[in-house]
Homo-oligomer: A and B are copies of this chain.
């Protein structure tokens, strides 16, 4: 929960940038706008507060962000994780106020685009607009999947789903090989993501391990060893889910 300042970096470091599954390099005018707004931010930094007025769109280049809401009594619900290529757009209906918090889960490299600039970029690059649409559609699909489990699923089904979702999302980023991946998360994060207490996340995860569904190492290196059973518990077909929640190449 530290909240130090962002460290501006040499933006020239960024020679290409991914939005969804599309790569934007020096041939795209958009890249310059992205580069002008690149920042490196430390883990746990809160980038935007729910209700804040200066709304910006944040494109993740590297690292993990999360969007979240919190209740008056301090309980947190993670709405979505934002991985490289994802776009955190906090804008709510009035077009000014942020409808959620955006925070860096890990140290991250991001591009923070003022809303006006973002709209111009979308208008000028149909390719970017298309990429944006895919990314937004993927997010919508994830949200409804998760909402179903939040409202109707057991703890097992919520956690199984979360593991599978993250596994599938990390795969196209080259961060998940053969159902093995690293989550830079605490059990509290997973609890805040699934609407459970950290204690119950722990119990459920242990049970998965005991039953041979997953293996864990080093406190968050996960390997799904029985995807069949796990996806039954999650109530999901992995192939179909991947198509629905992962932006495809153009």
With A148-B70, A194-B151, A243-B93 as contacts: A141 and B99 at CB distance below 8 Å? yes
Stretch at the interface among A72-80, A103-111, A177-185: A72-80
Judge whether A215 is part of the interface by a CB distance below 8 angstroms.
no
Inter-chain contact A92/B147, CB cutoff 8 Å: no
Shortest CB distance A87–B (Å): 12
Inter-chain contact A146/B147, CB cutoff 8 Å: yes
With A99-B141, A144-B69 as contacts: A150 and B93 at CB distance below 8 Å? no
Judge whether A51 is part of the interface by a CB distance below 8 angstroms.
yes
Judge whether A5 is part of the interface by a CB distance below 8 angstroms.
no
Judge whether A153 is part of the interface by a CB distance below 8 angstroms.
yes
Contacts of A145 in B (CB 8 A): 69, 99
Considering only residues 197-248 of chain A, those with a C-beta below 8 Å from chain B are 235, 240, 243-248
Inter-chain contact A244/B93, CB cutoff 8 Å: yes
Considering only residues 122-146 of chain A, those with a C-beta below 8 Å from chain B are 133-134, 136-138, 140-141, 143-146
Interface string of A71-115 (1 = CB under 8 A from B): 110011101000000000101111101011000000000000000
What is the oligomeric copy number? 2
With A95-B134, A141-B99 as contacts: A69 and B148 at CB distance below 8 Å? yes
A99 to B245, CA, bound (A): 9
Contacts of A141 in B (CB 8 A): 92-93, 99
Inter-chain contact B195/A92, CB cutoff 8 Å: no
Judge whether A120 is part of the interface by a CB distance below 8 angstroms.
no
Contacts of A76 in B (CB 8 A): 152
Shortest CB distance A92–B (Å): 4
A-B residue pairs, 8 tightest by C-beta:
A151-B195, A93-B138, A92-B141, A92-B244, A99-B141, A69-B148, A150-B150, A77-B151
8 residue pairs from A and B, CB less than 8 Å apart: A71-B153, A77-B150, A92-B138, A93-B244, A94-B248, A95-B137, A99-B137, A151-B194
- Using a CB–CB cutoff of 8 Å, the interface residues on chain A facing chain B are 51, 67, 69-72, 75-77, 79, 89, 91-95, 97, 99-100, 133-134, 136-138, 140-141, 143-148, 150-153, 192, 194-195, 235, 240, 243-248
